[in-house]
Structure 1
Amino acid sequence: MTGKFPLQPLLDLANTRMDDAARRLGELIASERSGQQKLEMLENYRAEYRERFVDAARAGIGPDELRNFTAFINRIDDAIAAQHVVVEQSRNHTSQGQKVWMAQRNKVRAFDTLSQRHLDQQSRHESRQEQRASDEHAARQHLERDGD
């Protein structure tokens, strides 16, 4: 019978932490994608609104309408700038999450390697014991035959 891997609790903990880090990384990636989609939506909306502004300007607009268009475009530009910051922060968080996950994965791999070495050592030990038992059995049989 093989002995239990003495570091199994640490391997289990490392696996749990790696799973948690993977889940968190998935959430960070989803958040980053959502932020990027929102940025693209704002940029598309700005382009459409600017197009309407150009069309209205060609048709001739009054100073109040011009001011309203300009103010609204400025608000959209502010929202776009703020969303760029959000997206960049999200990218940084995703990058950090990926590093955490990779570090946890490396720990699991290290413990897995130790576990495999432990299993290999136990297997070699069992094989030696079986070989010894087999050799002793064969020697006894040989002595019994020679003794007859």
Structure 2
Amino acid sequence: MSTTLPLAMLIELAQNKTDEASRRLGQLQRAQIGAAEKLEMLIRYRQEYYDQLQSQMQDGLPSSSWRNFQHFIATLDSAIEQQRAVASQADSRLAHGRSDWQQNKRRLSSFDTLAERARQQQAQLANKREQRSSDEHAARQFRQRMLAAAE
């Protein structure tokens, strides 16, 4: 019983940490998906804008429009690079969060294994006590029958 209580407390703490790591992992996954989607959107937008430029260039494009296009594409490229950095950081955080969750899960599993072993040992001790009690009871009955038969 003395090892069961601290072990139960450790299991509860490990379960709480694992639950918290699961919540963080979910948040990190959502952030990573959001960052990847935003990056994809920026890349698509740049491609659409570039396709429009190609179409306009076939019909002739004033130099002021060309400069505006170059400026806008440069701004988009900068935003894409920044978003790539954000997405990379999100990937890194997600990998770290996944590792943290796995570590907490392994720790919880280890405590569960220890608790199961303790339960099995307690069950074996209880079975031995019950067997010993049963054997002693049978031996007393046998002795009483032998004494009764001897009289």
* TM-score between the two structures when normalised by the length of structure 2: 0.94
Percent same amino acid at aligned positions? Answer: 37
Aligned partner of 1:22 in structure 2 is: 22
Aligned partner of 1:125 in structure 2 is: 125
- List gaps (5 residues or longer) in structure 1: none
SS at match of 2:134: helix
Matched positions, count: 146
Name the amino acid aligned to 2:117: R
Name the amino acid aligned to 2:133: A
Counterparts of 2:104 and 2:12 in 1: how far apart (Å)? 12
After superposition, give the CA deviation of every residue in 1:34-89 in whole Å (9 maximum; x if it has no partner).
Answer: 11001111111000000111111111111111111111111111111110000000
Alignment of 1:52-91 (within 5 A): 52-91=52-91
Counterparts of 1:30 and 1:56 in 2: how far apart (Å)? 39
Aligned partner of 1:144 in structure 2 is: 144
* TM-score between the two structures when normalised by the length of structure 1: 0.96
Name the amino acid aligned to 1:33: I
Quote how far apart the aligned CAs of 1:113 are.
1.1
Counterparts of 1:97 and 1:43 in 2: how far apart (Å)? 27
After superposition, give the CA deviation of every residue in 1:119-141 in whole Å (9 maximum; x if it has no partner).
Answer: 01100110010001100110011
- List gaps (5 residues or longer) in structure 2: none
Counterparts of 2:62 and 2:112 in 1: how far apart (Å)? 73
Name the amino acid aligned to 1:116: E
Query: Following superposition, which runs of at least 4 residues in structure 1 exceed 4 angstroms of deviation?
Result: none
Name the amino acid aligned to 1:87: A
Aligned partner of 1:106 in structure 2 is: 106
Quote how far apart the aligned CAs of 1:110 are.
1.1
Quote how far apart the aligned CAs of 1:106 are.
1.1
